[in-house]
Structure 1
Amino acid sequence: MTTRARPPQSPLRVACIQMAPEIGQKKANLEKSLSLIERAAKEGASLIVLPELCNTGYVFDSRTEAFELAEAIPDGESCQAWIGLAQQFRVTIVAGIAEREGPSLYNAAVLTGPEGYIGTYRKNHLWGEEKLFFEPGNVGVPVWSLPFGRVAVAICYDQWFPEIYRLAALQGADIVCTPTNWVPMPGQPEGQLAMANILAMAGAHSNGLFIAAADRVGTERGQPFLGQSLIVNPTGWIAAGPASDSEEQIISADIDLADARRARSLNTFNDLMRDRRGDLYGDMRL
Structure 2
Amino acid sequence: MPTQVTVAAVQTIPVIGDTAHNLADMLARADEAARRGARLIVFPELATSGYVFSDADEARDCAGALVSLDAAGRFRELCARHGAVAVFGYPEIDDDRLYNSAMVVGPEGVVGNYRKNHLWNLENEIFTPGDTGYPVFDTLVGRVGILICYDIWFPEAVRSLVLGEADVICLPTNWVPIEGAPHGRLTMANLLCQTNSHINGITIVGADRAGVERGQEFLGKSVISSPSGELAAGPASDTEAETLYAAFDGAEGRRARHWNDYNDPVENRRPETYRLQ
Q: How far 1:137 sits from its partner (Å)?
A: 0.4
- The CA distance in 2 between the partners of 1:144 and 1:73, in whole Å, is 23
Distance 1:18 1:146 in 2: 23
Which amino acid is 2:103 matched to? V
The equivalent residue for 1:182 is 175
Q: How far 1:10 moved relative to its partner? A: 4.2
* Superposition CA RMSD, Å: 1.8
Shift of 1:213: 0.7
Q: 1:190 to 1:203 in 2, by over 3 A?
A: closer
Q: Give the alignment's TM-score, normalised by structure 2.
A: 0.95
Return the letter of the residue paired with 2:73.
Answer: Q
32-41 or 271-280: bigger deviation: 271-280
**Are the counterparts in 1 of residues 185 and 235 from structure 2 also a CA contact under 8 Å?**
no
Please give the per-residue CA displacement for 1:167-209, whole angstroms capped at 9, x wherever unaligned. 0011111110000000012124453410000000011111111
Q: Residues of 2 paired with 1:106 and 1:100: CA distance?
A: 6
Could you list the per-position Cα deviations for residues 1-40 of structure 1 after superposition, in whole angstroms to 9, with x for gaps in the alignment? xxxxxxxx74210000000001011100110001000000
Map of 1:53 onto structure 2: 46
What does 1:26-37 align with in structure 2 at a 5 Å threshold? 26-37=19-30
Instruction: Give the 3 Å change call, closer, same or farther, for CA 107–189 of structure 1 in structure 2.
Output: closer
Query: Which is worse superposed, 198-207 or 141-150?
Result: 141-150
Contact 1:21 1:57 in 2 (8 A): yes
For 1:70, what is the secondary structure of its paired residue? Answer: helix
Residue aligning to 1:219:
212
Residue of structure 2 aligned with 1:198, choices 191, 198, 202:
191
SS of aligned partner of 2:156: helix
Corresponding residue for residue 232 of structure 2: 239
CA shift, 1:73, in A, is: 9.0
Matched, 1:108 2:101: yes
Match of 2:152 in 1: 159
Per the alignment, do residues 95 and 164 of structure 1 end up closer, same or farther by CA in structure 2, a change over 3 Å counting? Answer: same
Structure 1 counterpart SS, 2:205: strand
Measured in 2, the distance between the counterparts of 1:74 and 1:258 equals 36
Q: Distance in 1 between matches of 2:9 and 2:190?
A: 14
In structure 1, stretches of 5+ residues that fail to align are 1-8
Deviation at 1:116, TM superposition (A): 1.5
Specify the SS of the correspondent of 1:191. coil
Distance apart, 1:147 and its partner CA = 3.4
Deviations 1:19-77 (A, max 9, x none): 00010111001100010000000001000000000010000011111111114998862
Structure-2 change in CA distance of 1:34 and 1:233 (3 Å): same
Local SS of the residue matching 1:129: helix
Q: Which amino acid is 1:246 matched to?
A: T
The reply on whether 1:248 has 2:237 as its aligned counterpart is: no
Q: Distance in 1 between matches of 2:105 and 2:205?
A: 16
Does the Cα contact within 8 Å between 1:19 and 1:248 map onto a contact in 2?
yes
Alignment length, in residue pairs? Answer: 276
Give, as a single letter, the amino acid of the residue that structure 1 aligns with 2:171: T
Match of 2:274 in 1: 281
Secondary structure of 1:58's partner? coil
Contact 1:73 1:110 in 2 (8 A): no
Aligned to 1:135: 128
Aligned match of 1:260:
253
Q: Match for 2:145: what amino acid?
A: A
User: Does the 8 Å CA contact 1:158/1:164 hold for their aligned counterparts?
Assistant: yes
CA–CA distance in 1 between the matches of 2:141 and 2:75? 19
The residue aligned with 2:203 is 210
SS, match of residue 220 in structure 2? coil
Bigger Rg, structure 1 or 2: 1
Report the Cα distance in structure 2 between the residues aligned to 1:73 and 1:116, rounded to whole angstroms.
15
For 1:4, the equivalent position in structure 2 comes to: none
CA apart distance, 1:270: 0.6
What is the match of residue 58 of structure 2? 65
Query: Bigger CA drift: 229-238 or 259-268?
Result: 259-268
Structure 1 stretch 20-29 or stretch 68-77: which is displaced more?
A: 68-77
Further displaced range: 257-266 or 85-94: 257-266
